[in-house]
């Protein structure tokens, strides 16, 4: 049996651009790890390579985000026309199983560990069901990824990823996890064994990226006690790693030092805003802004690059705050922003329900617009065009060469830990990528005002597919 596992991708500019960056979806390697040994499995990540449309597999699994749904529907329809069986899973499929069932042969609405093996067994018996929603088997059931399937030749900077936990204990109002997933984590010994015995390292750049990996968890610090145990166990491995976690974890200086000792050199945290009113509107009380500067300094001095994500368009945002962001950032001497987006009211979130009840979702919004870069609602204090103007200006300012130069000179000498300087240097392109949305000057970044990608528009017209309206 031949199986393909495909992580689809469409670029925020709606141009056909690849983004071979350090962190990539590992869902293909995860699903591949759940396939039986006798299956011949190929994995594709569309962020790195085009999907070969002339190939044949018996079974094709698709992993996608809300905004890739239309594109994924096109691919599934083309494959089904050629006799292949397609399967969709993930958060969008779980929330809209009936719509998804129209375009795929089967839909998985539960965790992959309990559902993928059952689906494949049914397929082999010729008894494929339309829906798979078996209950979770718990975090111990997470299987090692098929790291040997990662192709480091197409994406020379990619790092292998691993999950130690799933979910998050917080309840930010815009987050797809809120109300849907409780926090759970794998036994430390299982995680360590996977890193030691299964992980394959990036061989490029004369071994500079060897022994380095990323934790793919939404919040590796969901349980500080667990994080401590994990770090203690990582110390003897002498690996280098990065992760995402919440800002509150970084307030514990001893834990930050332990993370650095365990090999952590990169932490991403979604700070989201420097405006207390916006933080309140997002129910993100774990971000205490008064402590930001001191925490950043301490984290860099410990040898860890701390990078932040900011989003604009929340209900607390005002023109005054958005105009002043560059000034605020200049005051915070060591602050590094590597992601700038527009808050997206994903359909399964409390934020979406609030906007829907107040009739503030923009008309004509389709699933493609839920990409984290397109305004899908009317904020309380701003006109949609004001949000987009600020977004454009901030993309240009934060993703500028002087800003990268500032990042290098302010941080390169803060620590002498091995691989610290290397991490600071590798973050330069990430900062530059903030400018990416400007690559398509015709893009409006307001829901309902931008057409889908040319290729998808043509294919959908030919195949008789309609975009999914979500308002």
Residue 218 in contact with ligand SF4, rule: CB under 6 A: yes
**What is the C-alpha separation between 400 and 434, in angstroms, rounded?**
9
- The CB-of-177 to ligand SF4 minimum distance in angstroms stands at 5
Cα–Cα separations (whole angstroms), residue 105 to 128, 256, 283: 8, 47, 38
Residue 278 in contact with ligand SF4, rule: CB under 6 A: no
Contacts of 346 (CB under 8 A, 6+ apart): 66, 91, 174, 176, 352, 370
- Tell me if 310 sits within 8 A of 325, measured CB to CB: yes
- The CB-of-186 to ligand SF4 minimum distance in angstroms stands at 17
Q: Which is nearer to ligand SF4, 115 or 287 (CB)?
A: 287
Residue 281 in contact with ligand SF4, rule: CB under 6 A: no
Residue 170 in contact with ligand SF4, rule: CB under 6 A: yes
β-partners of residue 295 are none
Q: Which of 164, 125, 158 is nearest to 244 (CA)?
A: 164
Residue 387 in contact with ligand SF4, rule: CB under 6 A: no
**What is the C-alpha separation between 396 and 403, in angstroms, rounded?**
10
Q: Using CB under 6 A, which of 33, 97, 270, 379 touches ligand SF4?
A: 270
Residue 219 in contact with ligand SF4, rule: CB under 6 A: yes
The pair phi, psi for residue 212, each rounded to 5°, is -120, 140
- The CB-of-21 to ligand SF4 minimum distance in angstroms stands at 20
Q: Using CB under 6 A, which of 93, 172, 302, 361 touches ligand SF4?
A: 172
Q: Encoding tokens for residue 241? A: 């790693």
Residue 177 in contact with ligand SF4, rule: CB under 6 A: yes
Q: Using CB under 6 A, which of 3, 175, 306, 470 touches ligand SF4?
A: 175
- Site for ligand SF4, residues 246 to 265, rule: CB under 6 A: 246
**What is the C-alpha separation between 92 and 368, in angstroms, rounded?**
12
Cα–Cα separations (whole angstroms), residue 308 to 106, 156, 436: 38, 24, 17
Binding mask 70-89 for ligand SF4 (x = CB under 6 A): --------------------
**What is the C-alpha separation between 111 and 133, in angstroms, rounded?**
8
Taking CB under 6 A as the binding criterion, the range among 163-171, 371-379, 385-393, 425-433 that sits at the site for ligand SF4 is 163-171
- The CB-of-54 to ligand SF4 minimum distance in angstroms stands at 39
- Site for ligand SF4, residues 6 to 45, rule: CB under 6 A: none
Q: Which of 379, 390, 374 is nearest to 447 (CA)?
A: 374
Residues that bind ligand SF4 (CB under 6 A): 168, 170-172, 175, 177-178, 218-219, 246, 270
């Amino acid at each position: 049996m031949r199986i393909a596992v495909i992580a689809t991708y469409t670029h925020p500019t709606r141009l056909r651009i690849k983004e071979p960056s350090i962190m990539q979806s590992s869902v293909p390697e995860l699903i591949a790890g759940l396939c039986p040994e006798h299956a011949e499995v190929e994995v594709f990540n569309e962020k790195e390579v085009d999907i070969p449309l002339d190939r044949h597999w018996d079974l094709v699994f698709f992993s996608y985000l809300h905004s890739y749904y239309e594109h994924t529907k096109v691919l599934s329809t083309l494959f089904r026309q050629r006799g292949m069986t397609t399967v969709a899973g993930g958060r969008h499929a779980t929330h809209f199983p009936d719509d998804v069932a129209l375009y795929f042969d089967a839909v998985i609405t539960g965790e992959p560990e309990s559902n993928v093996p059952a689906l494949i067994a049914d397929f082999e018996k010729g008894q494929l069901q339309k829906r798979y929603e078996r209950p979770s088997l718990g975090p111990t059931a997470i299987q090692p990824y098929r790291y040997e399937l990662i192709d480091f030749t197409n994406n020379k900077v990619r790092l292998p990823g691993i999950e130690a936990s799933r979910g998050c204990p917080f309840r930010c109002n815009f987050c797809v996890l809120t109300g849907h997933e409780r926090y759970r984590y794998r036994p430390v010994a299982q995680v360590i064994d996977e890193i030691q015995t299964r992980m394959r390292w990036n061989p490029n750049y004369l071994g500079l990226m060897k022994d380095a990996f990323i934790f793919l968890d939404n919040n590796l610090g969901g349980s500080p006690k667990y994080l401590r145990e994990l770090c203690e166990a990582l110390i003897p491995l002498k690996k280098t790693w990065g992760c995402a976690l919440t800002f509150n974890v970084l307030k514990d200086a001893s834990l930050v030092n332990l993370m650095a000792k365990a090999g952590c050199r990169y932490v991403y945290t979604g700070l989201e805003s420097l405006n207390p009113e916006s933080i309140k509107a997002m129910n993100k009380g774990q971000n205490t802004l008064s402590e930001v500067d001191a925490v950043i300094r301490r984290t860099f001095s410990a040898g860890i690059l701390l990078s932040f994500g900011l989003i604009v368009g929340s209900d607390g945002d005002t023109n005054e705050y958005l105009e002043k962001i560059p000034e605020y950032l200049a005051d915070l001497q060591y602050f590094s922003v590597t992601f700038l987006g527009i808050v997206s009211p994903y359909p399964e979130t409390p934020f979406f329900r609030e906007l829907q009840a107040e009739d503030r979702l923009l008309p004509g919004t389709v699933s493609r617009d839920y990409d984290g870069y397109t305004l899908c609602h009317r904020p309380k204090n701003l006109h949609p065009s004001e949000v987009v103007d600020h977004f454009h200006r901030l993309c240009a300012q934060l993703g500028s060469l002087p800003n990268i130069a500032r990042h290098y000179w302010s941080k390169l000498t803060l620590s002498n830990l091995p691989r610290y300087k290397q991490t600071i240097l590798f973050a330069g392109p990430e900062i530059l990528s903030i400018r990416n949305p400007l690559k398509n000057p015709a893009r409006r970044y307001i829901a309902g005002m931008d057409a889908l990608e040319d290729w998808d528009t043509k294919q959908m017209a030919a195949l008789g597919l309609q975009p999914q309206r979500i308002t």
